[in-house]
Amino acid sequence: MRILGHGYPDIELTGARVLVTGAGRGIGQSTAELFASKGSEVVIADVDTIAAETAAAAIGATSYELDVRSRGQWDKVIADLGHVDILVNNAGVMPAGPFLDEPDVVGQATMDINVWGLINGMRAVAPGMIERGRGHIINVASLAGKIPVPGLAVYNASKFAAVGLSAATRLEFAPQGISVSCVMPSAVRTRLSSGLTLGHGMPTVDPEDVAAAILRTCTTRKGEVAVPSYLGPIDLALAAAPERAVRLVRRLFDGDRALHPEDEKTRAEYEEQVRSIS
C-alpha cells in the first residue's frame, strides 16, 4: 500500500467503489459521471428512485434509494455493498426566505438532511474504511458554511455545522489512514438555486466545476476546497474587514438576494418540494 506525499494511503480510482448521495441530478450526478469516466465502480444513491435509476443507467452504475436522514437505510445500503472506498456526501436542500417565515418542519428537514445526512453517512461508512486502513470522505458543504447570507439563516447554520464536522472528523480519522475533505462551492447552477438571482457580482459555478473539485481531493486530500478556488480565504478577509465595509460590499453585490427571488414562481415550486420531504 503506497503512502503518498499527503500522508494517506493511496486509492486507485480505477476499480474504486464510490458512493455518491443525492446523485440523481445536479452536483451528485456530475460527480458520479466523472468518477465513472475514471473507471470507478460508482454507486448512485438518492431519495428520488426514478432519478437515481435514470442517472445510473446512463453510466452503467448501481442505484439505491436512500433518504440520508435514515441511519437504517444507510446501514442496509452499506451491508449490501460490503465496502466503500470513497464516500461523497452530497445530498442537501437549500430553502430560502426570511428566517421568521420559515416553517419549523422545513428548518428541521434542512438540519436533518444537510447535517445528520453527513453524520449518518460517515458513521455507516467510516468503520469499514478504518478496518481496511484506507478511505476518503468528501462532504459537500458550501461557502455559506463560511459566509452568512440573509435569507439563508438555517441553511447557513447547517453548512457551518458541515464545515466544523468535516474539520473535526478529519483530525479523528487521520491517524487511521482516512481522509476527510470539505468542498465548499459558491452559488451553483442547480435546482437548489432555482428562482434566485445568480451572477451580478456573485461567483457562480456549474455542477461540473464542483465535481472536478471533488475528484481532485482524491489526489490532494486537502481539508477544505472552495469552488472557485480563489474564494478560499474569503472568510478570513471578511472577518478582518470592518463591518461597515462588509455591509457596503454586500449592498453592491445584492447581498439580500436570497430574500427576494428573481423568479418567485420557480422558487416557490422548489420550496414546496422541500416541504414535501419534511
Q: Which residues are known to be catalytic?
A: 155
Is the separation of the CB atoms in 116 and 165 below 8 Å? no
Joined grid coordinates for residue 176: 487511521
Is the separation of the CB atoms in 128 and 83 below 8 Å? yes
Distance from the Cα of residue 196 to its chain's centroid: 19
Distances (CA, A) of 140 to 143, 186, 261: 10, 11, 24
Give the burial string for 176-189 (b: 16+ CB within 10 Å, else e): ebbbbbbbbbbbbb
Burial of residue 109, with CB atoms counted within 10 A of its CB: 0-12 exposed, 13-18 middle, 19 or more buried: buried
Distance from the Cα of residue 154 to its chain's centroid: 16
The 3-state DSSP class for residue 263 equals coil
Is the separation of the CB atoms in 151 and 97 below 8 Å? yes
Give the whole-angstrom CA distance, residue 84 versus residue 135: 8
Write down the residue that cell numbers 458550501 correspond to: 142
